[in-house]
Chains A and B, each alone.
Chain A
Amino acid sequence: MNRSLLYVFVLLVLSGLSFTASMLKAESSPTAKEQGMASQTRTTTQPNGEEVFRANCARCHMPPMSLSPRTTGTVVMHMRARARLSRQDEKLLLKYLAP
């Protein structure tokens, strides 16, 4: 029973990784049409840095009122690793916190 659970878990992780690989492949070669659609979508539906900040920081703690640009890069790297943030979220946060 325990061994079966382990196998199921390994299977899930492997499926996640293969899905990730396929996503990466798709990400690496966008067509011009896709690029156009993506930029259009970004302007209408993608969150801005403030939304990312409010939503993600408050998941665990009281968001800081201010952050010095000197330490912003380091802190955002730390939070990206802790909170499993995407590269896109990291960029938006940096732009918002240290424009």
Chain B
Amino acid sequence: MRIAQLRDELKNASYVSAIVMLSVVLSGRLTAQDMQSSENHAQYIPAISGGLGYIHNVNGGVTSLIPQINPVLLVPFGSHVLLESRTSFTGFFERRDLTSGPFTGKVFKSVDYAQVNWLAHTHIIATAGRYLLPFGLYSDRLGPLWIRNLQDTPITATIGTRTSGSGDGFMLRGVVVQKPSYSVQYTAYFSAHSNINQLQAARTAGGDVSIYLPRTRLEVGTSYQRFLQDHQINSVATYVSWQPSSVPLDIKAEGDYSYNGRGYWIESAYLFQQLPIPSIFRRTQIVGRMQQFFPTNGGGNTLPRVDTNRFDVGLNYYFRDDLRFISSYGRTFSSQGNANIWNVGFTYRFLFPLWPGRTK
């Protein structure tokens, strides 16, 4: 039984590898022909990007070792079609008896997205395949470990992203209108139900609309999702993101509502870039986040079943723009017990071309 399963997995893996190799070669051949814009020297060649990191986590006295790597394969076909895929490999190791004994665990893998984007024009970017559900700020934008300021996701991050965080279907997104003082962006999607291994998704439909003011660097948006299978429910998020141009400050906040509960989080990060301190310390970033969650209808569906409050404070240090040390302390308060959460580790963002570029 296991051998047959292994054989099937190997067969699937070889098909996927063949498709990827064929795409890279085809894309590279196109690149070799005429894939360079006449207005600049940018080239469109296949590349592999992504993040890797290691987190040492202590949650309520239980230690977990969490190494992660999330490679993103980017294969452009000209300057309007892009095939992109991200796979996550996350190791999770704990002591056998939680607080004593040797570390044991396993590596979890998941296909976060595998999609083809057609960048038709400003107003329409059509996507087909498996994509991240665009709900609120976290899932689509702050998900990668090298991006997020605090490694632990907010309590409400699972609202609007059931069941796997990804959807299988199609999505339209783009800019509705762009003026010097503001722009309006939209996203609309439909996902079909899927039980295929690594491609699990729920039947959902939804969208997101946001207004961005480039002068003040303020963005306000809202997301909606209708869960269309089993118990059909609506989920709504409203969010704000502000990075003032005069101060290296990053403020983000989101309020979420669903059948299983409602909550909010506010996060603020400040880079010591402008402080009158030795330059080596100016790469330090201090982060704070507070959040509250209130279950309704018994909570559940990966959300807490009791009122939960949590705050986090973090200190990150950027050795380079792609390599940083991360650390944070948080505490949860709930009737099920309070707990301290510590995180220490590092994250690294990588980017390698997969095809030789055109030489000048």
Contacts and interface: CB of A to CB of B under 8 A. Distances in A.
Chain B contact residues: over half helix, strand or loop, or mixed? strand
13 contacts: A9-B207, A19-B176, A72-B42, A74-B47, A74-B82, A75-B351, A77-B44, A81-B125, A82-B140, A84-B174, A86-B122, A88-B122, A88-B178
A99 B147 contact: no
Nearest to B27: A74
Given A69-B43, A74-B47, 19 more contacts: A16-B176, A20-B123, A23-B123, A23-B176, A55-B245, A58-B217, A58-B250, A61-B146, A65-B321, A70-B45, A70-B353, A72-B42, A73-B45, A77-B44, A78-B82, A81-B125, A86-B175, A95-B39, A98-B42
B327 interface: no
B177 A81 contact: no
A60 B207 CA distance: 19
Contacts of B74: 74-75, 77-78
Interface string B201-221: 000011101001010010100
Contacts of A41: 180
A46 interface: yes
List the 6 shortest-distance A-B pairs measured between CB atoms, nearest first: A70-B357, A73-B42, A98-B42, A73-B44, A84-B185, A72-B42
Interface residues of B, number: 69
Contacts of B140: 82
A43 B315 CA distance: 42
A83 B212 CA distance: 11
Contacts of A83: 141
B127 interface: yes
A72 B43 contact: yes
Interface string B137-154: 000111000110000000
A29 interface: no
Nearest to A68: B353
Category for how many chain A residues contact B: 35 or more
Given A13-B186, A54-B245, A70 B43 contact: yes
B160 interface: no
B226 A65 contact: no
A53 B61 CA distance: 43
A12, A47, A69, A88: most-surrounded residue (chain B CB, <10 A): A69
B241 A59 contact: yes
A22 to B, nearest CB: 10
A71 B353 contact: yes
A5 B259 CA distance: 14
B106 interface: no
A2 B76 contact: no
A9 to B, nearest CB: 5
